[in-house]
């Protein structure tokens, strides 16, 4: 029995040494095995993504999590049948200008659906401190008592943006 355990250990160590530098064998999605992240999962919005484990649900909001280094909040956006670029413009044109006077809109896809990232301009008001928005077309409309929505918006801080984009999936 001890000889078998020793052989297994030697084979395991040999495999690791031979595959050193071969990252294809040991890959995983960012945050998947990392205790620094938790998974937000919403059957209502039909989405999931990773967020820092030290963020907690803010009871003053329906779907908002806050932490010492950032936040995210999820909601639906009314589109009235308009395409995503017009929905992004609607978000930018809010009178309080949460993204400054000249934000950048980046066209992308999330899990195969059209998405827009709204990055703030340099003159963003301090109260919105590095807030960005991610607007994504839902795979299926979100149905709530107040209506049916084709788009979901996720507000977060710049520092969390890449993590959110890397881990976003529809359920």
Q: Does residue 137 contact residue 159 with C-beta atoms inside 8 Å? A: no
Domain ranges of the chain: 29-170
In Å, how far are 30, 137, 162, 171 from 111, measured between CA atoms? 15, 10, 14, 10
Stretch 23-36: mean pLDDT: 48
The better pLDDT of the pair 45, 13 is held by 45
d(CA 88, CA 77): 10
Q: 25: which 2 tokens?
A: 């064998």
Q: 100: which 2 tokens?
A: 């400054």
Mean of all residue pLDDT scores within the chain: 83
pLDDT in tens, 34-76: 689 999 999 999 999 999 999 999 999 999 999 999 999 999 9
The CATH class of 29-170 is alpha beta
pLDDT in tens, 110-148: 999 999 999 999 999 988 888 999 999 999 888 887 888
Spatial neighbors of 116 by CB under 8 A, at least 6 apart, are: 84, 85, 87, 88, 105, 106, 107, 108, 134, 135
CA 126 to chain centre: 23
């Amino acid at each position: 029995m001890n000889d078998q355990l020793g052989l297994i250990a030697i084979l395991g160590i040999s495999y690791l040494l031979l595959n050193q530098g071969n990252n294809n064998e040991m890959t995983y999605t960012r945050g998947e095995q990392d205790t620094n992240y938790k998974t937000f999962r919403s059957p209502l919005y039909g989405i999931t993504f990773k967020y820092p484990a030290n963020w907690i649900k803010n009871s003053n909001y329906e779907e908002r999590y806050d932490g010492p280094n950032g936040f995210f909040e999820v909601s639906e956006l009314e589109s009235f049948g308009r395409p995503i670029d017009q929905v992004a413009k609607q978000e930018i044109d809010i009178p309080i200008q949460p993204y400054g006077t000249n934000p950048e809109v980046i066209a992308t896809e999330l899990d195969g659906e059209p998405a827009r990232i709204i990055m703030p301009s340099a003159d963003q008001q301090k109260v919105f401190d590095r807030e960005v928005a991610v607007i994504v077309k839902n795979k299926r409309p979100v149905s709530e008592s107040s209506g049916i929505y084709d788009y979901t918006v996720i507000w977060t801080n710049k520092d969390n943006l890449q993590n959110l984009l890397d881990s976003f999936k529809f359920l």
